[in-house]
Structure 1
């Protein structure tokens, strides 16, 4: 091979190797790109799966909290019925004691009359009849005898009447006792169901806590919840009509500024505008005992009574002229959409729905859809105690 031929061969070999190396590098980059695309798809699938799991957990939370509220409401109704039945039994017991006392008194009087008649004897009455010396005296004594006989008959009738009343009271007592025992057994069953639902909810909250463990996810959830509430308020505001409030004897909501009562007694733990994660509270948070009564602050019409993400069981009352009050995190709702409520009327009970861990009431006021500070509208508080 000549020198020039060797150079040509070597140059061709270099070009061939260069092409091979280029192809290998290109294939490597393509494999990396494919792997990256697969990873992206997997991440997208994981994010989609995570979102679906969060949605599933939220739906499950909604179902459990609605069920818990209904069972708690049933237990409260049973408690009220049991209280009334116990009072009825006490009233029956008092009536029975009074009736028995009356019977004993009437029996004593009757026995006294019988002894008097026995002391006079039947022959005395016969002597009077046969006594013709003083007809006027005989007549008066006969009248007296007739009076005693009629008095005894009246006493006997009264005793018999009270005995019948006593029997009726005894029958009523048996019925009330049976109804009370039935209510007690039902309450025990409902309380067992309540405990079961409570345990399921606590387990679910632990799962949700893992899903929303980062501050970023908590903030995203909070903002999403607030946005959903704003959209709901805006929709309700559009549907609101002041015509239904015309002609009512109550003062307009705007004239009650600074004088509205608080919806319950408790300690205010979050004020309007205070920090809430990376957001702000647009109402106040009042700690109270679970199951405590929540009252409407003034007259209005219920425009929403349902579960809402982030707020749990929520009641919204329209008071006309763009004013609404909100009561959230409830255990049970006692009023339905469309119901009219009066100032001070019980509308719900304190709970921890919406995924909360402690019972409290969120109370908010809206004016034409925008939040306003309840502290400016309700009565003054002392050392963060309301009510």
Structure 2
């Protein structure tokens, strides 16, 4: 793992060097998009904490109801015992003993009253224990409610920060788009983005040649037309389509998704890149072994980091608009030995419609 981190570190150093020509606005946009990623992840974790605390609160409430029933039952039993003891009093036992002439009956009578006394003590102790547990449960519920209120307040704060940061991002993106229009044509920018991705993939390939290949139950190559789609959405640009005035061809597919759509790995593998790349935004690259890699771009938040192992169907990111897109989208590629391959040859059927998993 340490060797992997050093090797991937070399890629990140190369990426930093390759992006030194970015304008001040582009650097600001990158920082904002990373902040959005962090805030989204924090809000997601806080919501999970709140859900767990709600579950714990429900369990404590159920236990409180059970203890209340037990206490009511024990209270009634104690009332009966105390009422019986008050009505009979100590004289009742003495009367029986003095009127009894059979020694065997006297012994049985003494044993009975001793048992009755012990039973009463046990009932009182059980009542006290149940009462103590009920008080402890109520205290736990109060503490859990307090933690839940704090967590919900934190979620609200993160959501406000997220909304503010997204607004700032939109303003920065508008300024950036104006700056790009003045500096160069869209075609030149897209061509540069594509070259940058190709250069990154070469760097990644040089590194992963010395990384042990993943060992999935089924090799990637055996799953043509069987793999799940990386997200629910609508394909708006397919593999091989031309863009940038017909000068460039699409090496993958572009999907429009819901704002909260999660991006999932299509196969088992190791994350070899999880960072920002100009033109592709927050980008995840997964190595599946045997020369196969998949790329997932334009995310608003990355759930994994370099070196993580992921399973097929595992959520790795949230779809977004990073990299300059004006709608929530996912850019997806499949590569074999560095060459792009048509995703439709590998993915099963059609993607689920937005809003469905």
Normalised-by-shorter TM-score class: 0.7 to 0.9
Residues 113 and 148, structure 1, Cα contact 8 Å, conserved in 2: no
Bigger radius of gyration among the two: 1
Question: Which has the higher mean CA deviation after the structures are superposed, 139-148 or 82-91?
Answer: 139-148
The 2-side partners of 1:344 and 1:364 are apart by: 16
What TM-score do you get using the length of structure 2 for normalisation?
A: 0.86
**Retained in 2: the 8 A contact 1:54–1:211?**
no
The TM-score with structure 1 as length reference comes to 0.80
Q: Aligned to 2:263, which of 294, 297, 303?
A: 294
Aligned match for 1:308, one of 277, 302, 305: 277
Write the distance in 1 (CA, Å) between the matches of 2:264 and 2:123.
Answer: 55
The answer on 1:345 being equivalent to 2:317 is: no
Shift of 1:243: 5.9
Aligned mates of 1:383, 1:183 — CA distance in 2: 33
- 2:323 is aligned to 354
Alignment-derived partner of residue 153 in structure 2? 185
Q: Distance in 1 between matches of 2:265 and 2:336?
A: 17
Deviation at 1:135, TM superposition (A): 2.8
Q: 2:28 aligns with which of 49, 60, 63?
A: 60
Match of 1:138 in 2: 106
- Structure 2 unaligned spans of 5+: 1-19
Shift of 1:358: 1.6
Whether 1:122 aligns to 2:83 is: no
Equivalent residue, structure 1, for 2:295: 326
Contact 1:288-1:361 at 8 Å conserved across structures: yes
Deviation at 1:59, TM superposition (A): 1.4
Do the aligned partners of residues 158 and 384 (structure 1) sit closer, same or farther apart at CA in structure 2, a change above 3 Å counting?
Answer: closer
Summarize deviations over 1:91-136 as a string: whole Å, max 9, x none. Answer: 1111111112211111112212222333433322111222332333
- Residues 314, 327 of structure 1: 8 Å contact kept: yes
Shift of the 110–274 alpha-carbon distance from structure 1 to 2, 3 Å rule, reads farther
Task: Give 5+ residue unaligned stretches, structure 1.
Answer: 1-51
User: In 2, distance between residues paired with 1:350 and 1:146?
Assistant: 74
3-state SS in 1 of match to 2:26: helix
- Describe the superposition over 1:166-223 as per-residue Cα deviations: whole angstroms up to 9, x where unpaired: 2222222222222222222222222222122111111112122323448x71111111
Tell me which of 142, 148, 159 is aligned to 1:174: 142
Q: Return the offset for 1:331.
A: 1.2
Q: How does 1:194-273 map to 2 (within 5 A)?
A: 194-213=162-181, 217-241=185-209, 244-245=212-213, 248=215, 250-273=217-240
| Structure-2 change in CA distance of 1:230 and 1:382 (3 Å) | closer
Looking at both structures, which has the greater relative contact order when contacts are Cα pairs under 8 Å and sequence separation is at least 6? 2
CA, structure 1 residues 115+225, in 2 after alignment: closer, same or farther (shift >3 Å)? same
SS of aligned partner of 1:371: strand
1:281 to partner: Cα distance: 2.5
Counterparts of 1:150 and 1:286, CA distance in 2: 76
Q: Secondary structure of the residue that 1:268 maps to in structure 2?
A: strand
Q: Secondary structure at the match of 1:228?
A: helix
Is this contact kept in 2: 1:241–1:320, CA < 8 A?
no
User: Which deviates more, 321-330 or 340-349?
Assistant: 340-349
Q: 1:382 to 1:363 in 2, by over 3 A?
A: closer
- Which has the larger displacement, 257-266 or 365-374? 257-266
- Name the CA distance, whole Å, in 1 between partners of 2:297 and 2:216: 28
Structure with more helix by fraction: 1
Q: Which moved more, 1:266-275 or 1:365-374?
A: 266-275
Verify the 8 A CA contact 1:317 1:325 in the aligned structure 2.
yes
| Cα distance change on mapping 1:267 and 1:129 into 2, 3 Å | farther
Distance 1:339 1:124 in 2: 79
Q: 1:168 to 1:384 in 2, by over 3 A?
A: closer
Q: CA RMSD in A?
A: 2.4
Name 2:3's counterpart in structure 1. Answer: none
Does residue 380 of structure 1 match 2:349?
yes
Contact 2:232 2:352 in 1 (8 A): no
